[in-house]
Amino acid sequence: MGYNELPFLFGFLPLALLLFSITPRAKRKYILTFLSWTYFTICSRYLLVWLIGTTLFIYIMGLWIGKVGDRIPENYEVLMRKGPKEGSDVDLRAVKKEHIRHKTLMLVSVLTLFGVLLVLKYTGFFVDQLNGILASAGKVPVVAPKLLVPVGLSFYTLEAVGYILEVYWKRIPAEHDFWAIALLIGFFPQTMEGPIARYGDTAKQFIAPEPAVPRNLQEMTSAAMRIVWGMFKKIVIADRLNTVVAYLFDNYQDQNGVMIVVAAVSYTVQLYMEFSGMMDVVIGSARLFGIRLPENFRQPFFSQTASEFWRRWHITLGAWLKDYLFYPVAASRFSKDLGKKVRKKHGRHAAKLATSALALTPVWLFNGLWHGAGWHYIFYGIYYLALLLLEQVIDPARDAFYKKTGINRKGKGATLFRILRTWLIIFTGELFFRADTMGAGLHMFGSMFKNSGISRLFDGTLLHLGIEGADWIAVIFGTVVVFIYDVLIERGFSMKNWIWKQKLPVRWLLYYALIVAVIMFGAYGTGYEPVDLIYAGF
């Protein structure tokens, strides 16, 4: 039961909101947990045991880590380096023992959580690689066990690990309310596709949430219309393009030139419209229950560099990787020592590049593998790793170029050039991301430069990709509407506030126009098959 399906939108969600609203505020966390676990059961049946098991595990381990951490002085590192002050009764041996226990508990927790993720999600991939080696040696292949993966495993694992690390680093106290932990990783609107929430983002809201209904008419209406806006992006644009994308990628060996470009652009647009659209549905649904989830997109196609793109796209994943992987590696003693050695021999710029490479490599390998078990996903991570490092390599030359030529770096022409260049980077990356295998991705990339065939954009070829002319018109119209909306948001315009300032008839005319657009132009009914949520598969 995806967020885009009628049983959720007109069945589960309204019923959940009704039950939640009639429940006394102090007890809403219980009914919200019940609703969340019910939804998870509908999606994954008895695999709910994994979610409950993870909840119990991080609840207990969080309390344990917090209790041990409380016995470690804040100035532990100073004590170990200089010893206790004269007259102090600090037992260094006991403190060191507690420190080791504290770190051990954290490592056991994190490795257990990631171990479950690796076993459930990547066993098949690892067995396939092993069988390739065995086949080359003439050995009998290993049969991969069939493992069922609960929905949202990748998302709630990162939330659980983030909570454990926050407690370990003493950024937050261990949570004593079990239900806050249950909702931190199991809140049903974010079960399938995130966003990846932090403890500080949502936990306190779950203790005694105040729903938008019927407290605040403006908030309720805005939340509901954000759901409709998300559905507009999903079923008017993304679901139509799915037919085109599936046809071109399934028959990639028969395609070349401009049709490969059409495949890459179509998938990129489909992915953005679906993922950002479902985030609108998720965030809007959560707001009905009085919960504010973090935003996951910020007009990514206005990015001027690859690094900026990843600060605007899947924001919560990027923030998780930055805080829990990049910074710890960058701040490690090994990284600092490396920076000092390289700076001494080759200068500051080389030192920055070396330490960045050290910290970014695990980030982007993790990013690629997190999305799926396949070499094309690993390549996707390495692709962006190389681009981000290249940006740093050419920084001095780029600055010198602008200075020498006198070109206004912030001028419209230079800005447009950088945006279009970033689009090429994005489209190329998504080509490999969507390809079924690494070999398919390389084949398609090579075919893109054979027989350009620009005329096929106008000779009717596009009408033989599974959708008709009316469908293309709906896709183009919808994409233009979303683009204009994103331009306004990028310029600081608040559509929600502007609409609310309009007179009541005008306001509801706009609301009904959006609803009618979804109903009239949505890709559903005869001739259309329901399209599963893309990121739910990750």
Maximal CA-CA distance, the chain: 89
214 preceded by cis ω (within 30°)? yes
Radius of gyration over alpha carbons of the chain, in Å? 26
Give, in degrees to the nearest 5, the angle at Cα 298 between 295 and 300: 135
Q: What is the pLDDT of residues 18-40, one digit of tens each?
A: 999 888 888 899 999 999 999 99
The pLDDT, as a whole number, for residue 82 is 64
Rounded-to-integer distance, Cα 261 and Cα 255, Å: 10
Only one residue has tokens 């005319």, namely: 509
Supply the pLDDT for residue 422: 96
Residue 182 has a pLDDT of 95
Euclidean distance between CA atoms 220 and 475, whole angstroms: 29
DSSP letter for 140, please. Answer: P
Confidence band of 232 (pLDDT split at 50, 70, 90): very high
- Inform me whether the pLDDT recorded for 158 exceeds 70: yes
Terminal alpha carbon distance of the chain: 16
Q: Provide the pLDDT for residue 201.
A: 86
In whole angstroms, what is the distance from residue 364 CA to residue 258 CA? 30
Task: Report d(CA 352, CA 348) in Å as an integer.
Answer: 6
Write down the mean pLDDT value for the chain: 89
Per residue in 90-127, pLDDT (tens digit) is 667 777 888 889 999 999 999 999 999 999 998 888 88
Alpha carbon distances (Å) from 32 to 84, 156, 507: 49, 17, 32
What integer is the mean pLDDT of 291-295? Answer: 92
Name the amino acid, one letter, at 159: E
> CA separation (Å) from 57 to 52, 86, 383, 490?
8, 42, 36, 42
Q: What percent of the chain has pLDDT over 90?
A: 56
Reported confidence tier of residue 412, pLDDT bands at 50, 70, 90: confident
The single-letter DSSP state of residue 143 is: P
For residue range 7-23, list pLDDT tens digits in order: 999 999 999 999 998 88
Separation of alpha carbons 292 and 219, rounded Å = 11
DSSP secondary structure code for residue 211 in this structure:
-
d(C-alpha 342, C-alpha 356), whole Å = 12
pLDDT number for residue 86: 60
- pLDDT at residue 273 in the model: 96
pLDDT of residue 461: 87
pLDDT of residue 244: 93
126-130-133 Cα angle (round to 5): 145
Question: Which residues contact residue 200 at a Cβ distance below 8 angstroms, ignoring those fewer than 6 apart?
Answer: 166, 172
Alpha helices in 71-152 (DSSP H): 76-82, 92-136
Q: CB of 267 within 8 A of CB of 429?
A: no
For residue 294, give both structure tokens: 């973090």
Give pLDDT, residue 25. Answer: 84
pLDDT at 399 over 80: yes
Report which of 307, 310, 304 is spatially closest to residue 419, judged by C-alpha positions.
304
Token duo for residue 364: 């982007």
Q: pLDDT tens across 342-359, in order?
A: 888 888 888 889 999 999
Distances (CA, A) of 416 to 95, 301, 406, 412, 493: 58, 11, 17, 6, 21
For residue 423, pLDDT over 80 is answered with yes
Rounded to the nearest 10°, the torsion over CA 369, 374, 380, 385 is 50
> Over 70: is that where the pLDDT of 272 sits?
yes
Whether the model pTM is above 0.75: yes
Q: What would the mean pLDDT of 490-494 be, rounded to a whole number?
A: 90
- Cα–Cα distance for residue pair 191/35, rounded to 1 Å: 12
Phi, psi angle pair for 313, to nearest 5°: -110, 130
The pLDDT value given to residue 90:
65
Per-residue confidence (pLDDT) for residue 79, from 0 to 100? 65
> Is it the case that residue 211 has pLDDT exceeding 70?
no
**Per-residue tokens: 116:** 């479950």
**DSSP secondary structure code for residue 414 in this structure:** H
Of 156, 432, 208, 537, which is closest to residue 316 (Cα–Cα)?
156
pLDDT band at 61 (very low <50, low <70, confident <90, very high): very high
pLDDT reported for residue 146:
83
Say whether pLDDT at 285 is over 90. yes
With a cut of 70, say whether residue 215 has pLDDT above it.
no
Please state which of the ranges 174-178, 206-210, 303-307 shows the lowest mean pLDDT.
206-210
Structural tokens at position 181: 């932990």
β-bridge partners, 528: none
Judge contact between 87 and 104, C-beta under 8 A. no
